[in-house]
Amino acid sequence: MKTIQVSKDAMLKRVARFKDLQPSAKAFVDSQIPGHERKIFNVIGRGVTEDATLNPAITDARDFNLTLVHAAPGKGAALHAHPTVEVFMALSGRWAIYWGDAGEQEIVLEPWDTVSVPPGVMRGFRNAGAADGYLMAILGGTDAGHVTWSPDVLDRAKATGLSLDAEGNLT
């Protein structure tokens, strides 16, 4: 492979400083359902975020997208599926990863533990610790597609005033 040279200025455009990241509390249709409140930070690529205004710090998302999740104890994402692999790594705290059409399976990740969820599996996650925590989520693919939500989640989201348009963006 032939290597390329990159200037410091060009490389700095590929740096995401955590202190400068702007999170969204309404990144997904389930974000206002009690128990699913969380903040999403798009670090590399848009991933599958449904908030069209949430721009990533690094836009060049070749082959993967990286997101950070911040949530209080007991809070996290409702059941959903992706057309690509999704990798979770607990950065701080304990995180329960649950899966199955009814969320009937569950494992708990400790800091730095990692799990890779196959495409098409209904999954969710929640902060299983006693303090606010951070979880890293990596989605495969340059275009990670759209989220497929459990029908129950979409019904509960409507009651909060959030729904999705035909393109999969929040309305």
Residue 103 has pLDDT above 90, yes or no: yes
In this prediction, residue 111 has a pLDDT band, given cuts at 50, 70 and 90, of very high
In this predicted structure, what is the pLDDT of residue 93? 97
**Averaged confidence pLDDT in the chain:** 94
Residue 19: other Cβ atoms inside 10 A: 4
Residue 36 has pLDDT above 90, yes or no: yes
* Nearest alpha carbon to residue 78 among 23, 27, 134: 27
Residue 171 has pLDDT above 90, yes or no: no
Give this prediction's pTM.
0.93
In this prediction, residue 166 has a pLDDT band, given cuts at 50, 70 and 90, of confident
In this predicted structure, what is the pLDDT of residue 141? 84
**Cα Rg, the chain, nearest whole Å:** 16
Residue 33 has pLDDT above 90, yes or no: yes
In this prediction, residue 167 has a pLDDT band, given cuts at 50, 70 and 90, of confident
Residue 152: other Cβ atoms inside 10 A: 11
Collect all residues with Cβ–Cβ distance below 8 Å to 4 and sequence separation of at least 6.
Answer: none
Q: Can you list the alpha helix ranges (DSSP code H) found in the chain?
A: 8-12, 151-158
- DSSP annotation of 154 reads H
What is the third-level CATH fold of 20-157? Jelly Rolls (2.60.120)
The two structure tokens encoding residue 141: 């693919």
Please state, in angstroms and rounded to a whole number, the distance separating the CA atoms of residues 32 and 40: 13
C-alpha to C-alpha distances, 7 to 11, 14, 92, nearest whole angstrom: 6, 11, 34
Domain ranges of the chain: 20-157
What value does the mean pLDDT take over residues 117-124?
A: 97
Residue 40 has pLDDT above 90, yes or no: yes
In this prediction, residue 151 has a pLDDT band, given cuts at 50, 70 and 90, of confident
pLDDT tens profile 43-52: 999 889 999 8
Phi and psi at 39, nearest 5°, equal -110, 135
* Nearest alpha carbon to residue 115 among 144, 138, 82, 89: 89
